[in-house]
Amino acid sequence: MIAVKQLRKSFGKNEILKGLDITIAKGEVVVVIGPSGSGKSTFLRCLNLLEEPTGGDILFENEPITARGHNINATREKMGMVFQHFNLFPHKTVLQNLTLAPVQVKGKSPKEAEKIALDLLQTVGLADKRDVYPNQLSGGQKQRIAIARALAMQPHVMLFDEPTSALDPEMVGEVLDVMKKLAEGGMTMIIVTHEMGFAREVGDRIIFMDNGLIVEEGTPEQVFGNPSHPRTRDFLAKVL
Ligand code: ADP
Ligand code: MG
């Protein structure tokens, strides 16, 4: 589904991504771990072209999305993204948050968009919140709505950047449960997280990034159980 070849990204003279290579299969759940500042967010933002790579290539469903003249918007529609801070539209109801882009961007009929939205609200367990405004929701509920809103665009892949890092501890579980359900349903997912238990349980593959490079990757058993690189061992010793 995604092939990344020698991806590089610099901000000014600062090289943040130093040549990443990775391929991700349809239905795969890839969890990216690594210290703060190692380039995890920049990597995700390059994948959906929120940042323009300074080098390398990204193929998405066999299309070179980094090629000049490529339709960035068409690609972004196929990639759902959920950030640390749920940026729901504050003056729209939950249901409107979910139907806005499908109608305005994808050209769905309001009726069809609403049907999809109501199904998704069931999936994330918030069907009863359809008519409330975001400020009436808890942090965990907001983030579940943010996930549903991304899914309403019927993306082919979902990117998550520390979706639970800003939540009170008691709300982390409900968001991880929604993500787990999504993974079990076969969604292709790339998840940056510090939730190591979740990574171990749900990840098909763990990527350890440090200093702009993929230092180590493997199954959860390999990376958590028997890390081969000293930097991975150091990192895991601090977070586990
Ligand atoms: P992580 O998500 O692993 O914590 P980031 O990808 O956010 O790491 O950041 C990696 C480095 O890139 C940091 O040193 C950060 O300051 C720098 N960086 C990220 N975005 C920008 C930007 N827009 N302009 C300049 N530097 C940036
Ligand atoms: Mg980050």
Q: What is the pLDDT of residues 23-52, one digit of tens each?
A: 999 999 999 999 999 999 999 999 999 999
Strand partners, 24: 2
Q: Is the pLDDT of residue 229 over 90?
A: yes
Q: Is the pLDDT of residue 240 over 90?
A: no
Q: How far apart are CA 212 and CA 19, in angstroms?
A: 8
Strand partners, 49: none
What's residue 111's pLDDT? 98
What's residue 63's pLDDT? 94
Q: Give the mean model confidence (pLDDT) for residues 138-152.
A: 98
C-beta of residue 69 within 8 angstroms of C-beta of residue 30: no
Amino acid at 147: I
Strand partners, 8: 18, 55
Domains detected in the chain: 2-237 (3.40.50.300)
CB of 52 sitting under 6 A from ligand 1: no
Q: How far apart are CA 130 and CA 175, in angstroms?
A: 18
Residue whose CB lies within 8 A of the most ligand 1 atoms, among 42, 43, 52, for a mutation test:
42
* Predicted ipTM beyond 0.85: yes
**Residue with CA nearest ligand 1 atom 5:** 39
- Scanning the structure block, which residue is given the tokens 């299969």? 25
Q: What is the pLDDT of residues 173-206, one digit of tens each?
A: 999 999 999 999 999 999 999 999 999 999 999 9
Q: How far apart are CA 186 and CA 184, in angstroms?
A: 5
- Taking the complete model, does pTM exceed 0.95, yes or no? yes
Which atom in ligand 1 lies closest to the alpha carbon of residue 36?
Answer: 4
Q: What are phi and psi of 147, to 5 degrees?
A: -65, -45
Q: Give the mean model confidence (pLDDT) for residues 131-135.
A: 98
